[in-house]
Amino acid sequence: MSHFEELLQCPYNRSHRILPHAMQRHMFKCRKNNASKKLVSCPFNTIHLVPGPELKLHLDSCPDRATFDLYKYCIASGPSSSNSSYKNDEPELIYHESITTQGPGKSLQDDDECWDDSAVPAYNPQKYCKSAKIIRKATLLRPSDKQKFYRQEHQRHRELDSDRKQSKPQTNRKKDHIPLDRSSFKEYRGPVPESEYSSEEPKMAPEKTLQDDGKGRDRPLEKKQDTHQQKVDSIGNDIDEISAQFSKKISVGCK
C-alpha cells in the first residue's frame, strides 16, 4: 500500500510534479510562463494538453475515452437462455442519441426563431457618454492628451447646453398666466380711519416719578424721602442721648 498520492506531470514543464486536485490551478499559472508553447486540450479530459498535430493520436489512446464510450454504447444486460451459449449471442448495443420529435408537416429548418440573433442593438457606453451631459475623466493619457481631452469635453458640454436651450419650449407668460380668484382669499381688516374714533379722550393714569433704591427695585420718590428723613431724625436723637450721657459723666467727675 502506497502512502504517497499519485503525481501528475505538467504538460508545459516535465520537471513539475503536481497533485491531481491542484493540476488545473497549476496549469493556469504555468500557461502564462510558457506562452510560446501552443497546446490543445483533450475533449475527454481538460488536463490532457498535447500539441495540435498529436491530438488525433492522443484521442485514440486516451485513458479517459472509456467513460465516453461506455455512455455512448451501452450493452443491454438481460436473462440469457440456457440453450444459447455466451459465444453465439452477440451483445445488443444501445446508442444514446437525442431523438427530436417533429410535428406533422413542420421541421426544425422552418423555425425562424433564434435567440442568438437579437434585433435590439447592444449597449454602447462610449456612444451614450458622448451624447449625455456627464463628466468624463481622462485616464492613462499623457498630459498633453489630457489637456486636449478636457478642452473637447468643455466644448461638448457647451454644445449640449445650447441644444437643450433650443429644444426647450419657450412659454409666453401672458398666455399661460392664470388669473387669481380674489373671492377665495380672506380679506384682512385694514386700518381704522380717524373719523371712527370717539371724541372723548381716554383718561390717563397719573405719572409717578420713580427712583432706584440701590437694590434693583423702583419705588415712588415721596416714599423714599420719608424713610430718609426718619433715618436722619433717629440718628440725631441718638447723638443727643450720647452727648447728654457724656456731659453727666464729666460733671460727676468734677465733683
* Residue 92 within any structural domain of the chain: no
Last residue of a domain, one of 164, 185, 214: 164
- Phi and psi based region of residue 105 (left: phi greater than 0; alpha: psi -120 to 50; beta: remaining): left
How many domains does the chain contain in total?
3
Domain range holding 150? Answer: 133-164
pLDDT per position as a tens digit, 128-180: 998 899 999 998 899 999 999 999 999 999 999 998 888 876 655 555 566 66
16 and 33 both lie in a single domain = yes
pLDDT per position as a tens digit, 29-45: 898 888 888 899 998 88
Of the chain, the percentage scoring pLDDT greater than 70 comes to 57
* Residue 181 within any structural domain of the chain: no
Mark the ranges of the chain whose per-residue pLDDT is less than 50. Answer: 1, 78-84, 213
Say what the pTM is: 0.30
> Phi first, then psi: what are they for 17, rounded to 5°?
-115, 120
23 and 2 both lie in a single domain = yes
26 and 46 both lie in a single domain = no
Half-sphere exposure of 166 (CA within 13 A, CB side): 6
The residues that bridge with 75 in the sheet, in sequence order, are: 93
Residue holding cell 510558457? 34
